[in-house]
Amino acid sequence: MPEHDEADRGEQTPAPTSPSAQIPRRIRAVGPGWQPVLARLHDQLTALCPGYRLADVKEKLGGLRVYVDALGSGERDAVRSLIKAAEAEAAVTCEFCGAPGRTRRRGDAPHGWLKTVCDSCHRAWSAHQIMLVNGSVWQRRST
Residue 41, CA distances (Å) to 12, 30, 31, 90, 113 in order: 23, 14, 15, 11, 26
Residue number, 68 or 95, with CB nearest to Zn ion: 95
Q: Provide, rounded to whole angstroms, the least separation between the CB of residue 93 and Zn ion.
A: 9
CA–CA distance, 79 with 89 (Å, rounded to integer):
15
Q: Provide, rounded to whole angstroms, the least separation between the CB of residue 105 and Zn ion.
A: 16
Q: Provide, rounded to whole angstroms, the least separation between the CB of residue 120 and Zn ion.
A: 6
The Cβ of residue 24 has, within 10 Å, a number of other Cβ atoms equal to 13
Residue number, 22 or 116, with CB nearest to Zn ion: 116
Under 8 Å between Cβ of 103 and 116: yes
Q: Provide, rounded to whole angstroms, the least separation between the CB of residue 131 and Zn ion.
A: 13
Residue number, 71 or 121, with CB nearest to Zn ion: 121
Residue number, 55 or 133, with CB nearest to Zn ion: 133
Residue number, 79 or 121, with CB nearest to Zn ion: 121
Interface residue list for Zn ion (CB under 5 A): 94, 96-97, 99, 118, 121
* Residue-wise DSSP of 59-126: EETTEEEEEE----HHHHHHHHHHHHHHHHHHTTB-TTT-SB-EEEEGGG-TTPPEEEE-HHHHHHHH
Q: Provide, rounded to whole angstroms, the least separation between the CB of residue 31 and Zn ion.
A: 9
